Amino acid sequence: MLKKSVLLLSLFTFLLAGNGWAQKEIVFAVDATWPPMEFLDSDKNIVGYSIDYITAAGKAAGFTPVFKNVAWDGIFAGLSTGKYDAICSSVSITEKRQKVMDFSTPYFKVRQALIVSKDSKATTLADLKGKKVGGQIGTTGYFAIKAADNVEAKSYDEVGLAMEDLNVGRIDAVVCDDPVAANYAMDQYKDSLKIAGIIESGDVEFYGIAVQKGNKEVVDLVSRGIEAVRASGMEKELQQKWIGQ
């Protein structure tokens, strides 16, 4: 009778897990300074496109996401030492990063945008020779500035600080991901800043969820959720909600 009870309890536990009652908790580090992808609302809650996306992915794949606000300058080091399970923070999948961490299925295609003042005639980085261009340190936008000829790169801990410096004339342009550029240039600074153009490169850039190298369990679970969100059509709804057209 005891063995039968144990078997029934095990079966019951399995069924609960299969129906979402016992889900794996995954802790995601987030640099919540990157609107509309990841940022803090007026109540200091972490919100945004990526947050909604991974929350929906968790419901679909059977994991519970926990979002932890972490400064960008230490976010990759924290992953490597196991302070959290993954990074959900608009991390572009690059060849260099893939050497030291693994990535989920991509969940967003991104381009680098050039933001300038309304009265600027610059449309490319080539038009800004000898000028100061800002970007958030350690991002692909900042890497693009560093790779440009005869441009003075200025790094910032947060992209919002770069935008403020551009707005008051301390620098001449900012480079960052296009949804973030649109959020600032078409909302907060719509009367003073504009998107001058897109920095074209040979590589297509995608966001993915970063995990420790070899953590196949988390990669597979998150990727399964991302694929389910895309297949359900919810991805388009989230883009409309947070990014618009």
Rounded Cα–Cα distance for residues 6 and 44 (Å): 45
Q: Omega into 36 within 30° of 0, i.e. cis?
A: yes
On whether the CB atoms of residues 46 and 66 are closer than 8 A, the answer is: no
Confidence bin at 195 (pLDDT 50/70/90): very high
Q: Within the chain, where are the H helices?
A: 2-18, 49-61, 75-80, 95-98, 140-147, 159-167, 178-183, 216-232, 234-242
Question: Do 190 and 231 fall into the same domain?
Answer: no
- CATH number of the structural domain spanning residue 171: 3.40.190.10
By residue range, what is the domain housing residue 53? 26-109+206-242
Confidence bin at 22 (pLDDT 50/70/90): low
Q: Give the chain's radius of gyration (CA, Å).
A: 21
Q: Give the three-state DSSP class for 19.
A: coil
- pLDDT at position 10 over 70: no
Question: Do 102 and 33 fall into the same domain?
Answer: yes
Confidence bin at 213 (pLDDT 50/70/90): very high
On whether the CB atoms of residues 72 and 136 are closer than 8 A, the answer is: yes
Rounded Cα–Cα distance for residues 156 and 65 (Å): 29
Question: Do 104 and 46 fall into the same domain?
Answer: yes
Q: What is the domain count for the chain? A: 2
List pLDDT tens digits, range 134-157: 999 999 999 999 999 999 999 999
- Count the Cβ atoms, other than its own, within 10 Å of residue 86: 27
Average pLDDT taken over every residue of the chain: 91
List pLDDT tens digits, range 54-69: 999 999 999 999 999 9
Residue 23: the pLDDT is: 81
Higher pLDDT pick, 9 / 195: 195
- Across residues 4-27, what is the average pLDDT? 54
Question: Do 92 and 119 fall into the same domain?
Answer: no
Domain termination residue (choose one: 184, 199, 214): 199
On whether the CB atoms of residues 20 and 62 are closer than 8 A, the answer is: yes
DSSP code, position 158: S
- pLDDT at position 1 over 70: no
Q: Give the three-state DSSP class for 111.
A: coil
On whether the CB atoms of residues 191 and 184 are closer than 8 A, the answer is: no
The predicted model scores a pTM of 0.83
Q: Shortest CA distance to 32 belongs to which of 42, 47, 49? A: 47
- Across residues 158-174, what is the average pLDDT? 97
List pLDDT tens digits, range 183-193: 999 888 999 99
Rounded Cα–Cα distance for residues 231 and 215 (Å): 24
- pLDDT at position 124 over 90: yes
Assess if residue 4 is contained within a domain.
Answer: no
- pLDDT at position 14 over 50: no
On whether the CB atoms of residues 144 and 92 are closer than 8 A, the answer is: no
- pLDDT at position 229 over 50: yes
Assess if residue 17 is contained within a domain.
Answer: no
- Across residues 108-119, what is the average pLDDT? 95
Strands 112-117 and 173-177, bridge-based pairing: antiparallel
- Count the Cβ atoms, other than its own, within 10 Å of residue 237: 13
- Across residues 204-221, what is the average pLDDT? 96
Please report, for residues 54, 63, 68, 221, the alpha-carbon distance to residue 19 in angstroms, rounded to integers and kept in the order given: 19, 11, 26, 15
Confidence bin at 201 (pLDDT 50/70/90): low
In percent, the amount of the chain with pLDDT more than 90 equals 86
Assess if residue 146 is contained within a domain.
Answer: yes
Assess if residue 213 is contained within a domain.
Answer: yes
Assess if residue 8 is contained within a domain.
Answer: no
In percent, the amount of the chain with pLDDT more than 70 equals 89
Return the minimum-mean-pLDDT range out of 2-11, 30-39, 64-73: 2-11
Confidence bin at 237 (pLDDT 50/70/90): very high
